[in-house]
Amino acid sequence: MPRWPDDTKQRLVEAAYDLFVDRGYSETTVAQIADRAGTTSRTFFRHFPDKEEVLFSEDDELLPLLVTSIERSSGASDSGEMMREVLGVLADSMSGHHERLAQRDRLIAENVALGGRELAKQARWQHSVADALERRGYRRDDAAILAAVGFAIFTGALHEWLESPHTDLRALVDERFPRVAGALTWPVP
């Protein structure tokens, strides 16, 4: 029988967010997070390498979901339709977490080190998406372009959604596809 309940990681995440919001990210320690979660610092470090990683814990589920969606995407007649389907799955999985994601976004915006970690994570995601697209049959250069465009579409929609909680994230993603296509045909000024 495990010493700690199975929800330890989730309790640590919730405790961390509560403390980050109440005290500020920089003023919160791992010991405080562990104490709030009813566990120890040692247990914290079994789940996370540092307190920064708590803010990126969703990567463990979202990135594999995205990659699997690419690999299993069905019925798409072109790359745009396939990416719309895949990004829609990601949007749906995030839609129920608006408040937490908005808190995370504010914390990252307020802390330069967290911004750097986010950029590193984004680069990893983009590379993983390009790899999945390449496994699906796209040339490496094309896969990298699709990953970059998909990333731009999704992050733009995500930031708009975080500022407007009464909108639908999937709808915001869908709205961006024709806008990207249109932007590629604009005349040069």
pLDDT (tens digit per residue) in 70-96: 998 876 678 888 999 999 999 999 998
pTM, 2 dp: 0.86
**For residue 33, what are its two tokens?**
């997070």
Taking the domains of the chain in order of start, what are their residue ranges? 8-49, 58-183
Identify the CATH homologous superfamily for domain 8-49. Homeodomain-like (1.10.10.60)
Beta-carbon count within 10 A of 185 CB: 6
- Checking phi first, is residue 119 left (phi over 0); if not, alpha (psi -120 to 50) or beta? alpha
> Residue 105 pLDDT > 70, yes or no?
yes
What fold characterizes domain 58-183? Answer: Tetracycline Repressor; domain 2 (1.10.357)
Q: Determine contact, residues 108/114, Cβ cutoff 8 Å.
A: yes
Nearest to 171 by CA among 98, 81, 85, 88: 88
The structure tokens 């390498």 sit at 49
Q: For 59-80, what is the mean pLDDT?
A: 86
Residue 189: the pLDDT is: 72
